[in-house]
Amino acid sequence: MKNEPLILDGNQVASNIKEVLKDRVNQLLEKGVTPCLATILVGDDPASETYVRMKGNACKRLGIDSKRVVLEASTSTEELINVIQDLNNDPSVHGILLQHPVPHHIDERAAFEAISIEKDVDGVTMLGFAQNAFDQAAFPSCTPAAILAIMDEYKLPMEGKHAVVVGRSPILGKPVSLMLLNRNATVTICHSRTQNLDQLVSQGDIVVAAVGKPNFIQGDWIKPGAVIMDAGYNEGNIGDCDYEACYERASAITPVPGGVGPVTIATLLKHTVDAAEKIAVK
């Protein structure tokens, strides 16, 4: 009889992170420093509005200031960059988050690059990516960092394991691959042009689903005993893995919702507090 897989409770991991942050925030407040995260929302995408509101509420509960900047969908790249530069120059702001995606006419990469590396708490700049590649990033991308935080919390080994990452986005698939590599995993990166994807996934001791397609990873692709980290979040609270089918073969799996998502937000708050502490000691 097969043992039931371990369900990796992201809500609990996030709660543990935030419990530690409470003391750190209080210490900063005693020094007259209030950690502040600025969130920029361009346009009126409902999902993005929800994400920004969730992040703002999470800040409030911890005593972190949340500065919300909402811009019209018609905002130009130049106008957006000017707003980012103003936040860079605002000493009361410690972290800047530009909510993805932005309207199509905006050069998103140029906007990301305008964020000061000291305030790039979401790990979206090319410099932040390069620092992450060398295992030197103060603020690695939040979702990849959340994935590793969950694995660390549950003492799931990475060293020597074969990790298969499905997805290659610059803020998820690529950085998590480098972070796993830095932890001595052997990493295979798959994407939309990968051939024989099911065969490659079936070799993974660790499978990171980061493709943005609901129920994309099938249960019969999964190596028995694999650890599944589902970073997908699709309409209807559905992950990138067929949860029920993958559950049958996994040794550990993140649910959706309640897996990687809550830890991503907790990581963003942690990075904001980290940034504020650097200012406080200057």
Q: Could you give the residue numbers annotated as active site? A: 55, 99, 122
3-class SS of residue 75 = coil
Local structure of 59: helix, strand or coil: helix
CA dihedral 238→242→244→249, nearest 10 degrees, is: -140
Closest CA to 36 of 81, 83, 71, 88: 88
Tokens standing for residue 36: 């502040």
The one-letter code for the residue type at 63 is G
Residue 195, CA atoms < 13 Å, CB-side half-sphere: 0
Query: Which regions of 82-225 does DSSP assign to beta strands (E)?
Result: 95-98, 162-166, 186-190, 206-209
